[in-house]
Amino acid sequence: MMRRGEAGDDTVEIKEHPRQANTPVGSPPHRSQLQNQSVFKNWKPWIVPLFVVVNIAVFIAVMYVNDCHTNSGSCVVPSLGRFSFQPLKENPLLGPSSSTLEKMGALDVNRVVHEHQSWRLISCIWLHAGVFHLLANMLSLLFIGIRLEQEFGFLRIGLVYVISGFGGSLLSALFIQAGISVGASGALFGLLGGMLSELITNWTIYANKFAALLTLLCIIVVNLAVGILPHVDNFAHIGGFLSGFFLGFVLLIRPQFKWINQKRCPPGYIAPQAQSKHKTYQYALWVISLIVLITGFTLGLVALFRGVNVNNKCSWCHYLSCVPTSLWSCKSQQVYCQSTELGGQLELTCLSNGKSNMYDLSNNDSSKVQLLCAQLCS
């Protein structure tokens, strides 16, 4: 008989049937030897703290490149020198300018599709828009990720984090094709999705199953609900969550108890026989999830690089990212730019904030110019 009190409790009680009198000579282990045996390895977390350090280091590097003290007239906390923050009306999160984030690898659909910079689907998850954005995501990563890495190890949790971040970027690029996007939120929601599927596929090892499920569902629903506010990329959250959910069935699977008993049975005791390491429903979920992941990522990438605007295929999907109310509007503010052709380059000046930039355009397609204008004015 085995019982596991909660997700992080790796101690179980093992009771087996003793051998008969005609079994080989040998004293059976004392009862205390059958209790509190460690069944699942307790990993020492290091990849999640490393991810936190990398995100902080990248943010410092972005602020160094941003150099507000030199490039802008007025900065927040000017005593920090080149690490000072952009004016609050430009970036209320205490961070760099949008042009710096774009230069450092922010998700820009135009560059991904037309300039073949697909690496931005990964690089954007290591960038953050400001100090508040960075702190919120890193605290969440430590709170969620440490516990998961202790249970499943660095390789599986690292894969869930990175692949979920990629899935969030992919869904965001399919629906939000103007402006830039940064942040680790998609990867974090992937860890939440992995926690949910891990609870489902390892259902039998939890003592308080429904309490754990209800608690986790409440956390997920609340976090996704926040995403319907304006200026929050909920498509990255949804894409990361779905990726992590299906990855959990593939990577975060536990062996069944009979198989563990058979492998861990002390000398002098007979363990119940296990036909296979995993249960039938675990194998079924593993196969289905792997198929869904491969199909989803393949179709998403094909649609992205063909320039498909998924909003034209789904008239209601935009409500998943923002629901208009009497308190706010979800409509993007119309932006206007002044354009000047200088040789083979196009200079755009945003009329709302006065920012200017030069672009190399082989053909001045109006939709591409409007997209660049929106990014410049964001």
Active site residues: 185, 237
- In the numeric block, the tokens 């308080």 are attached to 208
Q: With helix as H, strand as E and coil as C, how does the chain read? A: CCCCCCCCCCEECCCCEECCCCCCCCCCCCHHHHCCEECCCCCCCCHHHHHHHHHHHHHHHHHHHHCHHHHCCCCECHHHHHHCECCCCCCCCCCCCHHHHHHHCCECHHHHHHCCCCCHHHHHHHCCCCHHHHHHHHHHHHHHHHHHHHHHCHHHHHHHHHHHHHHHHHHHHHHCCCCCECCCHHHHHHHHHHHHHHHHHCHHHCCCHHHHHHHHHHHHHHHHHHCCCCCCCHHHHHHHHHHHHHHHHHHCCCCCHHHHHHHHCCCCEECCCCCCCCCHHHHHHHHHHHHHHHHHHHHHHHHHHCCCCHHHCCCCHHHHCCCCCCCCCCCCCCCCEEEEEECCEEEEEECCCCCEEEEECCCCCHHHHHHHHHHHHC
Over its C-alpha atoms, the chain yields an Rg (Å, rounded) of 26
- Of the candidates 17, 5, 22, 6, the one whose C-alpha atom is nearest the C-alpha of residue 261 is 17
Tell me the two tokens of residue 21.
């009198």
Tell me the two tokens of residue 250.
């593939």
